[in-house]
Structure 1
Amino acid sequence: MTVARPRAAPQTHRGRIIAAAARITTESGWSDVTMARLASEVGVSRQTVYNEIGAKDALAEAMVLTELQRFLGVVEEAFEVSPHDLVDAIRAAAYGVLDLALDNRLLQAIVSATHGASTELLPLLTTHSGSLLATAKEVVARRMRTYEIPLDADRLDALVDLVVRTVLSQVMQPNKSPARSADDLAWLADRVLRSH
């Protein structure tokens, strides 16, 4: 099962600053990310870094949400590939996200706190993941609504929540291969859809 990975968009100052922060985080840890270092790496003033990003906590959130867009690109592609079979689309989306997560160095740095990565980042994926969850759920719900589904709005929201939270859980702490996790989630979704 293959899902195309999205291409990188042309980079603005903001995009280059976020990319530099991600590179530093994966190479030496979040604690080594400073506004002065980012300014030097990107070739702009520190004031430009602050104007484009804000404080370091805003940079952390921007970095995580930028990475989330890569994952959501995989989700969008999976739904495009299976426009008439929701269960297959869910399977492909889950597989694509989990496969991408396997070798995602930034995600690994955040989750494992390797290379001196600070735990300041981890809450953005766990206890303070509201923006991440809301964004992911919005994309999945929008895509699911294009299928004929025998569920009312509340039940559809419950299915979206199940899919997104299960995938996020497997991203954070995988206990199966991406293919097995995707198959299991597709099986659950199929049972939910058939029960109505």
Structure 2
Amino acid sequence: MPTAREALLNAAHSALAGRPWPAVRMVDVASAASVSRQTLYNEFGGKDGLARALVRREADAYLSGVDRVLGEPAAAAEQLVRLAEWIVAEARSRPLLRALLTGVWSDRLPEPRPAGRSAAGPAVPAQRRADAGHPAPADLVAAVRDRSLAALEQRGGSRAREESAEAGRHCELAVRLALSCLVAGPPEGVGRLVRTALSGPGRRAAGR
């Protein structure tokens, strides 16, 4: 059974699917989650806090998904192809994720405003983390690169560590190509594009 916080985030996410964020009312979110408005304010501090929590949850879900893809058995190059394809597919169906990855926010989405330094804010640890701010697109690229390197080293040991610099470049290349296809298209060709890019110089390390 979801906690009150999870139920509120689920309700806010569902409301966002049907209307722009400025039209989402806190009273409706609380009602849909079957909790009081006071509980909502205790958890998030206000609508801006709820927006920050929604975006933080989306970023966390994205990185968890990256870990799942990287955990699937495959050669390194093929794993990056799968990762790029997964990123494009997920971002096309998740507007919040697309905004996080590209930095392009529409007025329908809850682009979170930074928490004021003087604001007391709620005492909920998860909300303090959300209020600290969401990762920028470059931060998410770096996080995926680091996760990719960790997965490679776990499988390959010391030899993989020796090749980590090149592997890191390959991962960044794959992710940036995915983002490029997401913005400019065609998204369906991202796998082929990544395979072509990784077959160039340094392909021996990418193919291991």
* TM-score (norm: length of structure 2): 0.65
> Deviation per CA, 1:157-181, whole angstroms, max 9, x where unpaired?
443333333333433x141133x21
1:91 to 81, 84, 92: 81
Taking structure 1 as reference, are residues 119 and 103 closer, same or farther at Cα in structure 2, changes over 3 Å only?
closer
CA contact (8 A) 2:105 2:111 kept: no
1:142 to 127, 150, 158: 150
Residues in 2 aligned to 1:43 and 1:131: alpha-carbon distance in whole angstroms: 36
> Deviation per CA, 1:135-194, whole angstroms, max 9, x where unpaired?
4444333323335447555444443333333333433x141133x212212332343542
Structure 2 counterpart of 1:143, which letter? A
Aligned-residue identity in percent: 23
> Deviation per CA, 1:12-53, whole angstroms, max 9, x where unpaired?
222221121111112101112333332222122223223323
1:81 to 67, 72, 88: 72
CA contact (8 A) 2:84 2:191 kept: yes
1:184 to 180, 183, 193: 193
Residue 30 of structure 1 is matched in structure 2 by 21
Q: Give the structure with higher Rg (CA).
A: 2
Give 3-state SS (helix, strand or coil) of 1:81's partner.
Answer: coil
**1:87 shift after superposition:** 0.6
1:175 matched to 2:166? no
Structure 1 counterpart of 2:147, which letter? V
The 5-angstrom pairing of residues 24-63 of structure 1 reads 24-63=15-54
1:165 matched to 2:176? yes
CA contact (8 A) 1:82 1:88 kept: no
Residues in 1 aligned to 2:134 and 2:193: alpha-carbon distance in whole angstroms: 23
Taking structure 1 as reference, are residues 32 and 143 closer, same or farther at Cα in structure 2, changes over 3 Å only?
farther
Residues in 2 aligned to 1:131 and 1:45: alpha-carbon distance in whole angstroms: 36
CA contact (8 A) 1:29 1:109 kept: no
* TM-score (norm: length of structure 1): 0.68
- Pick which of 12-21 and 139-148 moved more: 139-148
Structure 1 counterpart of 2:203, which letter? R
**1:68 shift after superposition:** 3.6
**1:101 shift after superposition:** 2.9
Taking structure 1 as reference, are residues 69 and 190 closer, same or farther at Cα in structure 2, changes over 3 Å only?
farther
Gaps of 5+ in 1: 1-9
Residue 104 of structure 1 is matched in structure 2 by 94
Structure 2 counterpart of 1:12, which letter? T
Residues in 1 aligned to 2:179 and 2:36: alpha-carbon distance in whole angstroms: 36
Residues in 1 aligned to 2:46 and 2:53: alpha-carbon distance in whole angstroms: 11
Give 3-state SS (helix, strand or coil) of 1:22's partner.
Answer: helix
Taking structure 1 as reference, are residues 98 and 58 closer, same or farther at Cα in structure 2, changes over 3 Å only?
same
